Amino acid sequence: NKDLIFEKIDNINYLIYIKKSEKILIVSKSNLSIIKNYFSKTKDEFEQFLKKKFKLSETVAILGELSQLAKKEKAKSIKTKSVKTPKFSNNFSFKIENCLYTIFHDDSINMNDIFGQLNHLYTNKKSKDQSFKVFTKNNKIYLCFNEEYVGSWEKNNVHFLKGKIISLIINKYHNVREKKWSAFLHGSIVHKSNKSFLIIGNSGSGKTSLATLLVKNGFKLICDDTAPLNNQGFFGHFPNALSIKKAQTGILENYSLNNFYQFNTKTYKGEITYLYPKKNEIFKKFYYCRHIFRVKYNKNSSFRISKSKKYEVLQELINDSFLVRNNESVKSFIEWVKKGEFYDIIYSNEKDVLDFIKKI
């Protein structure tokens, strides 16, 4: 199909990619039929098609919605021809393998969430070869990497800036261009005995706390918060720390965390504790993962597990993650989804989760 990529994901729902607008959504079979007709018919033909099925008011509403779906959204990054970087008094340097990075920044942006993720990799050496420059000008945030302009965002879109920095570091670490990834999913991945598990959930759900407890029980931490999925269906390792909000630290209060590097700081999200395992030997950079746990911690609940409604999980992933918008990447993401096993887990004790993992 020259306009659409689509695939059935359960009995009634389809994941669909509109090539023109680069939008990804989940629709029912009947809505897929309407969208397919919208792109395959002339305007007059499509209006006649709708009038046979719907009232006039419904037809007008559907036409308006489809017109918006077919329209490409404006980029969050603001285009500019050139930008002059100021002098910087603040910097943070870190080293991943043999590559040294430095982030230069001004005082107008709280960068502590990125520095917290990478604090265990800190070095006092500075790099000019791999350098980020972050600054504000005219109430916008600008990002340059290796003296090249990357993008600029409104101040209230600071999370896009920080996501871009992390993705650029991941690209460099794996020597993979962004368009060759399938997605950067919002979740944590742990690995043990040739099995990997992607842990996802809403903010405050206890997903990172569970990942921490699994690491305490011998799992390797592959990545946290940003899980890069390549076009071959494998997740890339990234050595950033687990980040736990103050409200969630109570889940870990009865556990010793001496086997983690710990760093506490105040970010734009509030107080965060960052943890990275002192022993986390990683022998390869990519891991296959088809088990996805959508988790929720409930202190007073018994352990409950059920197969997830795949469309619900995908809706959350699409909203919370960055999916790469090109034909190859979307097809790859769909293939990963088709092979995935999705579970909803409510837990109060990680031992119940460990027992379940042993049975998989």
Confidence (pLDDT) at 41: 94
* Helix, strand, coil percentages for the chain (3-state, nearest 5): 35, 35, 30
For residue 358, what are the CA distances in angstroms to 10, 307, 351?
27, 17, 11
Instruction: Answer whether residue 76 is part of any domain.
Output: no
The whole-number pLDDT of residue 169 equals 98
Same domain, 325 and 348: yes
Strands 195-200 vs 181-186: parallel, antiparallel or unpaired: unpaired
Domain count, the chain: 3
> Which among 259, 254, 258, 261 has a CA at the least distance from the CA of 240?
261
Judging by DSSP bridges, how do beta strands 341-347 and 291-297 pair with one another? parallel
**Residues 8-55: pLDDT tens digits?**
999 899 999 999 999 999 999 999 999 999 999 999 999 999 999 999
Assess if residue 81 is contained within a domain. no
Mark whether 13 and 120 lie in a shared domain.
no
Say if CB 167 and CB 227 are below 8 A apart.
no
- Predicted TM-score (pTM) of the model is 0.92
**What pLDDT does 75 receive?**
67
Last residue of a domain, one of 69, 103, 118: 69
Asked if residue 78 belongs to a domain, the reply is no
pLDDT of 155 reads: 87
Per-residue confidence (pLDDT) for residue 123, from 0 to 100:
96
Residues of the chain predicted below pLDDT 50: none
Residues 227 and 336 in one domain: yes
Sheet of 13-18, strands arranged across: 4-8, 13-18, 23-28
**Domain C-terminal end among 160, 175, 190:** 175
Same domain, 142 and 291: no
Same domain, 140 and 192: no
